[in-house]
Amino acid sequence: MRSSTIYDVAQAADVSTSTVSRAFSAPDRVRAATREHVLETARRLGYQPNPHARALVSRRTQTVAMVVSDITNPHFFELIRGAELRAKASGYTLVLVNAEESPRIELEQIQRLTRSVDGFLLAASRQPAENLLQLAATQKVVVVNRRVPGLASVVLEHAEGCRQMVSHLASLGHESVVYLAGPQNSWMAASRWAAIRAAAAELGVHARRMGPFTPTVASGGAAADAALTTDATAAIAHNDLLAIGVLRRLADRGVRVPADVSVVGFDDIFAADLCTPTLTTLGGAHADVGRAAVELLLTSMDQYREQAPQLVVPSELILRRSTGSARTSDLSDR
């Protein structure tokens, strides 16, 4: 049995094929009664529009690409989920791209998809700002967990969150903290350090930065060893994965957390509540970030804005057992 075609629908509905096409691809250009008649006829005949043909008419593929820096990082799970649900609600398909923490791979993947998608969500992009602005000159782009002047963006609030983090440590008697930084080309790593440094200066806490470190559990060993060369009584890791690696290395070296050193992370991934000890971390509604990013992208396809909106989703400091009162003894012999 052959599938129904656009010509079958046009004949059965007693309209032109162009009207059928517009009813699916540009419904606002068809009278409501005619559109409903065409859609009902299509449903009765079992007609499914060809997405490639629709793209030729509407110049849209109904597909958006989300590029993430590292798909293995649990931080992105909720972000992707929120974006995917919002895209689906508007009839869009979300294509997921893994940049593997490589600016080269990220750029290559973006270039391959420019003709196949209606826009890009770039999560924690490692691209230079000029590359992103060049892409935005021909494509719809929203950057996530990063800000670029002139581009729409959604970030999880971190300035006040970092202040709460440092204030929490100061209230426990910590006078010196070390920030174990993430990738050198990470906008978020630089922003977190700036916020931590500003909060520390305001609260009378000495802060120093060490790294960069790859934001993985495996890199936590080197990060922990580096932290122990300082007089810091608290370590703030770039993300929860790095913090969990730090916890493991400190345990191997007989350093007690939080009795000897307090440890803090970022992102509040599911493992933060499962490691030993459970991890104090700055988290937030990552699914809301993903939803808002898709909303901005879809809106930009239909509305012109002189200024690119920059949205901020609130963060939340989650207190667990990896932070405690500052130690009074020296750890240099461990």
189 & 178 share domain? yes
pLDDT of residue 26: 67
Give the torsion sign (CA, 237, 239, 241, 242). negative
Which residue type sits at 49? P
Predicted confidence (pLDDT) at residue 299 exceeds the cutoff of 80? yes
Looking at the structure, tell me whether residues 178 and 273 fall in a common domain.
yes
Summarised one tens digit per residue, pLDDT across range 187-232 is 999 999 999 999 999 999 999 999 999 999 999 999 999 999 999 9
Note the pLDDT of residue 262: 98
Domains held by the chain: number:
3
Q: Are residues 97 and 209 in the same domain?
A: no
Longest dimension (CA), the chain: 88
Residue 51 has a pLDDT of 56
Give the whole-angstrom CA distance, residue 289 versus residue 296.
11
pLDDT band at 56; cut points 50, 70, 90:
very low
Per the structure, the complete domain to which residue 119 belongs is given by 63-156+285-315
Task: Answer whether residue 35 is part of any domain.
Answer: yes
Look at residue 276 and tell me whether its pLDDT is greater than 80. Answer: yes
pLDDT in tens, 83-124: 999 999 988 999 999 999 899 999 999 999 988 899 999 999
Mean residue pLDDT across the chain: 91
Nearest C-alpha neighbor of 174 from the set 317, 327, 330? 327
In this structure, the chain runs to a length of: 334
Task: Clarify whether residues 71 and 219 are in a common domain.
Answer: no
Higher pLDDT: 1 or 185? It is: 185
Are 77 and 24 in the same domain? Answer: no
What's the pLDDT band for 323 if we cut at 50, 70, 90?
A: very high
pLDDT tens, 149-175? Answer: 999 999 999 999 999 999 999 999 999
- Are both 167 and 242 inside the same structural domain? yes
Residue 259 covered by a domain: yes
Q: Are residues 137 and 210 in the same domain?
A: no
- pTM across the whole model: 0.80
What is the side-by-side order of every strand in the sheet holding 93-98? 93-98, 63-68, 119-123, 140-144, 152-156, 310-313
Residue 1 lies in a domain: no
284-to-30, 97, 177 alpha-carbon distances in Å: 43, 23, 23
pLDDT at position 50, please? 63
| Cα–Cα distance, 316 to 172 (Å, whole number) | 19
Report the pLDDT averaged over residues 268-273.
Answer: 96
My answer on whether 52 and 68 are in the same domain is no
The answer to whether residue 334 is domain-embedded is no
Task: Kindly report the CATH number assigned to the domain that includes residue 293.
Answer: 3.40.50.2300
Instruction: List C-alpha distances in Å: 313 to 160, 185, 195, 286, 309.
Output: 12, 23, 16, 8, 13
